Each structure stands twice: as C-alpha cells, then as structure tokens.
Amino acid sequence: MSRFERPARAVGFWVQQIGAFVVLLLLGHYLIGGAIGLKRLAFREDPAIDARVHAPVSDELENKTAYWREFVRAWGGEFEPYTHWRRKAFAGDYINIDEAGVRFTPKQPSPDAKKVFVFGGSTTWGTGVADADTIPAMLQKRLGRGYDVTNYGESSYVAAQELNVLLERLARGERPDVVIFYDGVNDGYAGVYSPAIPRDPGSIRVEFDQMRASLKWSGVRTLYEKSNYARLVKAAQCGLGRSASSKAWDAAVSPKIRANAAETVILYEAHIRQVEALAAEYGFKTYFFWQPNLLAGARAPFDDYEEKIVGESSPALIESQKAVYDAAKSRFLGREAEGVYFLGDAFDAVDAPLYYDWHHVGARGNAVIAEIMGRALTNQSEADAPLLSSISPASAKASIDAH
C-alpha cells in the first residue's frame, strides 16, 4: 500500500461513517414524523386547531372548530417600538385586525360619541371569542351609539406596555374621553411567577436570553427546532408531566412569591397614579379593573375540565396567583369612588363553564365583565344594579343585548 492510499482509505472510511449517520438522522426524522402523524390521526388531533377547542366553554362559539383554526392562523405578530410586539393585520370570519394591529369592534357611533380606549392583555383582546364577543365589543353594545369603544388589548401585555400604547396614541393626537385598563393576570404572572420580576414583560427577556445563549450555534439550533426530534422531545416532556427544570423553577421562585406579589401590586398602584397624571393633563376619565382568574381560588372549578386546569398547574404558579389575589384585594377593594375596581370575585356566582385555561374565558364571562364596566361608566349605583359577583351571566348578557 502506497503512502497515498492509506490516508485516502481513512478519508473514505469517515465519509462513509458520516454519510451513514446523516442517513440514520433523516430516517429517524421521517419515522418520528410518521408516528406523530399516526397518533394525531388515531386521536383526531389537528395541529392547525388550538387545543382549547375541547373546552366545554367552546360550545358557546358559533363554530368552534372553524374559530380555533382561524385563531391559530391569526396568531402572528411583528415588532412594535416600546411595546415589543403587536399582531399583524388579519381578515377572517371571526377575527379581524386592522393595519395598526387593533382588533375589530362592531360599532356605529354617533358623530359626537365619547371615545373609550380599553387596554389590557389577551383577555381584553379576546382570546376564545369572536369580534362581537370581546369585552370591549360587549361594552360598546351595552353603552350604545353615544360611545365609540376601541380595543387596544394585546396578548401578554403588562400594564407598562399598555401605558406605552396610550402614550403613543396621545402623542399622535388622539384624545379619548374615557380610558379603561383591565389587568392583573399578566402583571401577576410575569411579576410573581415567570420571570418573577415585577413590571417585566417576561417573554421578551426569555427570548433575548435564549437568543444570546444560542447565537453561536444558531444554525444547528434552527435545524433542530424544525426537526421531528424536537417534536418528540416536547411530546415526551408533556407525557412525563412537569419536567425537572419546571420543578427547579418552582423551587427558585417560591421563596419570593409573597414579596413579589406585594411589589407587583405596589407597582400597579404607581401605574394608576401615572395614568391619572396623564388624565389630568389630557382631560379623560380613568377606570382600572383587576381581573379574576381560576387559580386564585376565589371560585371553585365548575366541572372536570376546570378541575384539570388547576390539577395540571404548577403548585408555585397556583401559590403565586393566590398571593397576587390577596395583595390586590387588600389594596384595591372598596375603591370604586376612585375608579378602581377589584373584580377578583366577579365570577363567584357564575354556575356554568367559564374558563378555557386558567385566565381566558368565553363570551359568558366577558358579558359579566362588560356589564360591570358599563354600569361603572354610566354611574349606575349598586342600589340600582349590583356591580359585582351578584350579576349573573344570563342577566349580564340580557342587559347587553337590550342596549
């Protein structure tokens, strides 16, 4: 064997090994994809439809399969200065978003209608309901043509992001007569559970940290995330229940829950003061509503589906939401004269399915909230019409439909 043949054979050997490895990787990729496809076929799963289609409250929808399929299609967002993201324009049968990223609200306001801006997260935007059944849309219907309600809600927004949207609208010359904030879930989640930093838009921090950590291997990471191996790992994690990393996170945040809950509510108080300062300058009236959620424990789960939501939630997440509920109730309850409403107990009397997950509700729940907001804006006294949990979903919906 010549001195040139030996290196050539060695190179050939490694080329064969690498080639065989690549073939096995590709074979595994397609085998995993086929197995996942067969599982979805067997269990009638559709990746183009949100899993919340199976929630009992989805039965409120006109066509739940079509709605949740459209919801997945409408999910895409794009960069937005100072608020980080906003949904793209979208036109559908149930969900419509304009070029500014604002959810459509059905309305025919009079020329001199009072302008009402409503801010909040995905519960305000309307996850789980069609355009006509968002809280702002139901509020519009209740108030009538004398008001012009705009839905500035956006998924995952915390109060600081919502304030930036208001500042942008004011800077561009828009002048509301009434400004409403419907908050609590996102500030409580980001501030007390993940990333457990009060007044923090958590998902942006997580994405930035992941990007920085993986920048060196971005090409390899992208290939992996698009492969069926990543899907297999995710499926395995779901099947095994809470992962070790999730349990480690719970252990890390648990000692800080009470302190972070208190700070989150104190910072929201500062948010109220900042908005009221703007109100004094620009001449609008303010309302702040602290929203309910299933994990706070104020209302017992209605059915097996809601029981499952609670049962599958992280113990630390549940503890965090109970702590936020306690802190918010202590600070905000009984301040209606200031335009501050604690609605953590608003669903206590609702004897029906409400929740898609631990904080999103359907049209029935939105009707209760919109009725409370409408009564607050029109100065109806509690003697004339009780404001809080004594409002049944049926009476709330009837009141809204009557307007």
Instruction: Give the pLDDT confidence of 252-304 residue by residue, as tens digits.
Output: 999 999 999 999 999 999 999 999 999 999 999 999 999 999 999 999 999 99
Tell which residue, 272, 238, 283, 247, has the closest CA to residue 340.
272
Contact by Cβ (8 Å): 370, 139: yes
Which tops the pLDDT comparison, 240 or 204? 204
Q: pTM to 2 decimals? A: 0.82
Tell which residue, 187, 69, 184, 71, has the closest CA to residue 134.
71
For residues 258 and 394, give the distance between their C-alpha atoms in angstroms, rounded to a whole number: 37
Which tops the pLDDT comparison, 38 or 402? 402
Q: State whether CATH 3.40.50.1110 applies to domain 51-402.
A: yes
Q: Where are the domains of the chain?
A: 1-45, 51-402
Q: What mean pLDDT comes out for the span 341-358?
A: 96
| Window from 49-53, 111-115, 223-227 with minimum mean pLDDT | 223-227
Q: What percent of the chain stands above pLDDT 90?
A: 69
The pLDDT value recorded for residue 6 is 61
What is the DSSP pairing of strand 77-80 with strand 84-87? antiparallel
Which tops the pLDDT comparison, 23 or 235? 23
For residues 397 and 393, give the distance between their C-alpha atoms in angstroms, rounded to a whole number: 6
pLDDT at 89 over 50: yes
- pLDDT tier, 389 (very low <50, low <70, confident <90, very high otherwise): very low
For residues 299 and 210, give the distance between their C-alpha atoms in angstroms, rounded to a whole number: 37
The pLDDT value recorded for residue 397 is 59
pLDDT digits (tens, 9 = 90+) for 166-213: 999 999 999 999 999 999 999 999 999 999 999 888 666 666 565 555
Contact by Cβ (8 Å): 402, 374: no
Q: Which residue has the tokens 């809080």?
A: 388
pLDDT at 244 over 60: yes
The pLDDT value recorded for residue 152 is 99
pLDDT at 42 over 50: no
- pLDDT tier, 227 (very low <50, low <70, confident <90, very high otherwise): low
In the sheet with 178-183, reading across from the earlier edge strand, the strands are: 147-151, 114-120, 178-183, 285-290, 340-342
For residues 394 and 374, give the distance between their C-alpha atoms in angstroms, rounded to a whole number: 16
Q: What are the residues whose beta carbons fall under 8 Å from the beta carbon of 389, sequence distance 6 or more?
A: 345, 346, 347, 348, 349
- Give whichever of 8-12, 72-76, 233-237 has the largest mean pLDDT: 72-76
| Window from 49-53, 129-133, 245-249, 393-397 with minimum mean pLDDT | 393-397
Q: Is the peptide bond before 195 cis (omega within 30 degrees of 0)?
A: yes
Q: What mean pLDDT comes out for the span 244-257?
A: 92
What is the average pLDDT value for the chain, to the nearest integer? 85
pLDDT at 215 over 60: no
For residues 225 and 369, give the distance between their C-alpha atoms in angstroms, rounded to a whole number: 40
Q: What mean pLDDT comes out for the span 5-25?
A: 64
Q: What are the residues whose beta carbons fall under 8 Å from the beta carbon of 272, sequence distance 6 or more?
A: 286, 288, 340
CA-only gyration radius of the chain, Å = 25
The pLDDT value recorded for residue 246 is 86
The pLDDT value recorded for residue 76 is 86
Collapsing DSSP to helix, strand or coil, 400 comes out as: helix
Contact by Cβ (8 Å): 210, 149: no
Which tops the pLDDT comparison, 337 or 20? 337
- H helix runs in 357-392, sequence order: 363-377
The pLDDT value recorded for residue 253 is 96
